[in-house]
Amino acid sequence: MPLEGTAASGPEVSVHLAERFTPLEARVLHDVASRSPAGMTLDLDFRDVRTCHDVALLLLAQDIRAGWAQYTLRGLTSHHLRLLGYLGASRSGAKGAPVDPSFD
């Protein structure tokens, strides 16, 4: 599975993504987020991702907007963060918006 180093520490789950972020990985993250307890933070580390599918970002944006969990996004390019914003997952959006300081 392309997701590595998944670890839970209290209300936070850290996920290190490997070289690719595809719709498959986005679906796995969806399953985690949609079943998460209230107030959980999903810390996603994209620093090793070399291929990031736009459709996977669309699925992630839908989950961020759904508000199942809070998100911390690390290692996304400014282009990918902008794309998430265009898809409705903005810092000023509903609960669950990304909290990466470079967002927006």
How do the domains of the chain map onto residue ranges? 3-86
Convert the pLDDT of each residue in 31-81 to its tens digit: 999 988 888 889 999 999 999 999 999 999 999 998 888 899 999 998 999
Amino acid, single-letter form, for residue 11 = P
Percent of the chain surpassing pLDDT 70: 76
Which residue did the predictor score with more confidence, 34 or 94? 34
Q: Which pTM was predicted?
A: 0.78
Distance of CA 76 to the CA centre of its chain: 10
Which residue did the predictor score with more confidence, 3 or 16? 16
Q: Does domain 3-86 have CATH number 3.40.1350.10?
A: no
In DSSP terms, 72 is beta-bridged to 43
List the end-to-end C-alpha distance of the chain, in Å, as a whole number. Answer: 31
Residues 6+ apart with CB under 8 A from 41: 11, 12, 13, 69, 70, 71, 72
Which residue did the predictor score with more confidence, 36 or 6? 36
